[in-house]
Chains A and B, each alone.
Chain A
Amino acid sequence: MIALGRVTIVTLGGVVAAALLLAGLNLLTPAANALHVPDFAIPLFGKYLCYAMLALAVDLVWGYAGILTLGHAAFFALGGYMMGMYLMREIGARGVYANPVLPDFMVFIGWNKLPWYWYGFDHFWFALLMVMLVPAALAGLFGWFAFRSRVSGVYLSIITQALTYALMLAFFRNDMGFGGNNGMTDFKDILGFALNRETTAVGLMLASAGALAAALALARAITASRFGKVLLAVREAEARTRFLGYRPESYKLAVWVVSAVIAAIGGALYVPQVGIINPSEFSPGNSIEAVIWVSVGGRGTLAGAILGAIIVNLGKTWLTSALPAVWLFAFGGLFIAVTLCLPGGLIGLFAGRRRGAEKARGTVSERQHGPAERAPRGVVG
């Protein structure tokens, strides 16, 4: 437990340090300097950090409560849409049609009045509140029905997949009022800071690093508490927890909603950095990818989810430009390889080695920690 607590701290420090280093090298070194970080790398790394938040959210429910979600990108995308609505309204009269209230796409489809659900999104604080409230409400409703009727395992996975697919189809429709197929783009600024300025990009990337660090600290506090122990108990033997007097559904619901909010905040930070949000963010494949990041990094370790998301996406960025045709095969192969050869993920490899080394020095007895190869499945707190 102590060793993995250390892994969490190292990951937290590593994420913040990497973000600060990239920011410094980008802003403070001249472009000719060999150490200069090019401008494009800043939002790219910011994007990875947002994906890492999604992965963290998936790990919290999958790794600790055993809920294999195949629809978590839905919460990520919803958070993104809430932020997109704010950014659209920030454009104001600077749009192509110069309408001070209506976003361009609404003018284009002939609407002349702002729908009620767009009210308030001209205020940043309101949008921020909605970024958390809307996904939390959806997760709460979905979870309340699913967990109360004891839907679990593969059936639950399937309905999470259906949830994100249904949302994708809904958001594709123009008359939903979210920009249909094209979604929302052409954002100008956020809180008055122009999005095309380098300092804004750096600020957003650092904000993502901060949000990720806070989410990791929160998730770690939850999993290390007695609540976290009950979650593991539910994951391992749900019926047993019931006969002990616990209501697994309320535990699952609580962690499910927290996880949805973490994913949503990731999505909200993602949108201003990539400059667009459209219904493809809901596509089922995105949610499945997030599950793969978690298994590559190491399920049930939190830190592993973050490492997995960053490493896999680094690989994706590199491979899709170097050998675009190979990416999907490499990704599928990676998933199979990790499942077969590395069930504890990259973190499991690390924790196993570390434990082996400590044992060799005689500092840790077998009795305290158990066989190293079991480490990734155990209590990670």
Chain B
Amino acid sequence: MAQDSTNTARGATAHQLNKVGRGRMRIGFIAMIVFLLVIAGKLVMIQGLDVGKMAEAAETQRTVKQVLPAVRGKIVDANGKVLAESILRYDITVNQVNSALYPEYKHYDQATQKTLTYTRAEGLQQLADVLSLPIDQVQKAATGTKVFNYIVRDVSPAVEGKVAALGVPGIYSQAQTKRVYPMGSVGGPIVGFVGSDGKGLAGIEQTMNAKLTGTDGSRTYQAGKNGIIIPTAPVETVPAVDGQTVKLTINEDIQYYAQQAAQQQKEQYSADWASITVLEVKTGKVIAIADSDSYDPNNPGASKTADVGSRTVSDVVEPGSTEKIVTTSGVMEKGLYNPMSHFLVPPSLTIGGQTFDDAFVHGTEKRTLAGIIADSMNTGTVMAGSKMTKKERYDWLHKFGVGQRTGIDLPGESPGILVPWQQWDGRQEYTVLFGQGVAQTPLQSAFIYQTVANDGMRLKPQIIDSTTAADGTVDTVRQAPGIKVISPKTAAEDRLMLEGVATMSHYNAINIPGYRVGGKTGTSEAPAANGVGFDGYTSSFIGMAPMEDPQYVVAITVQRPKGSIYGVTQGATFNQVMGQVLRTYNVPPSTTPPAMPPKFYK
């Protein structure tokens, strides 16, 4: 029993102890459960519900969206030579505060694999050497309290690489795309230039801006703090689509030659300006549009505002005698005359109360129509042209494109001035017959001759040959359908008379050995800048070759040449430019003898 009681007593103690222990354990257990619940709750909150948008914030922090800039398309000439392209250039900048922070710095030289210590002055000296700038200038630019200052702008990537290799503290570089025009002023007014925002402001850069501009792409990726891409995270790339390459019909060699010739004429005669246009007859393709004092698109600001743009398409002049071919086309198409028709031309012609003289003194002459054109007689032209009604005279000018824009892909084209025939005054109704009282651009004049050369079919000038997309798809521009102006027969008769100018006239400066050529001189008075009266002249020549099957038209216009107008000739320039064109395109020499239509009848 005793044993039993002690057992019970001992058992009670153990039982109590057990109870206490179990209680503590329970408390601990509950505490742990609560703790775990809190953690689990937090876990659900963060992972499951993402109350604080943590994951999103983290992803945003890691995510880098990079713009992949599209490169603006190139502009190339007919042979693929680059006229405009975008390249990477650098501005070398300085943080003057940071620069001052390091009076001495250590630099690890990659080449010698040594770490050297330089002073700030030594560093700047190295920088000046690399940039080929005077040390004073670099010192001045790098010293101060500005956090941003340019040391030099627009250096090549090679120079930037050297600058970066120097590791001078506080010196940085900024990349930027720059539009460059390797040919400079050659074709400058055609190509145009871009503004600081990269949009075209002139020339083809302006008219073809939409095609030249590409679409920027983007790359979205996640990167660590060190900028290294996290490999397992998704990378989303929208590739940039570069701008299209625009191929012009311009032949850069001819363009250069024509531009030289235009400049030469301008300087020789101290003229206001000179323009030379070269066209391909059968396609209307413009091979050269040369303006004197063409600006360099690399630095358009250096040129006079008036020189920015192409005068060939934007300036109007009175064409003068070159327009006589419109009159002859009219009367011949109407069936009134042919090149051999007889005209008894008086020394001076009075018609409708208006008197007209010629540039040379003559008596009453028995002239053929070809003879009238060969010696460019106003009297004879008025005699023939006045057989047409005023409306017909207007209609012919209109059909040949006067008073309408040609539609060339260049900005600022002028339609010219062709006053409706109802508003013509008493003299104007006759002067329009020989190209006065009507104004047009040199390009429009050139296309009148293109029409005659192309058997009466007037074409739209084409300056864009094709566009090539970034993926290589070529989109060739189709020739717009032409407008039938005169019959092939009339066109052939016109050409016969134009050849007579070269072969029969006293003006025998037109001569390209080996080829039959034809053309027409033009002289007219230039309206004064203030709009009152006339000051100076416009001298021009438009010709074509080879006459048996004309391939090219060259039109030369010189505005306000100084000195005696009778000494001014565009003949030699025409010979040079047309000769260059025929040689360049390997046009076979003429095999038939030149036509020599008689100037007089018996």
Q: Decide if A and B are genuine partners.
A: no
Binding site for B on A (CB under 8 A): none
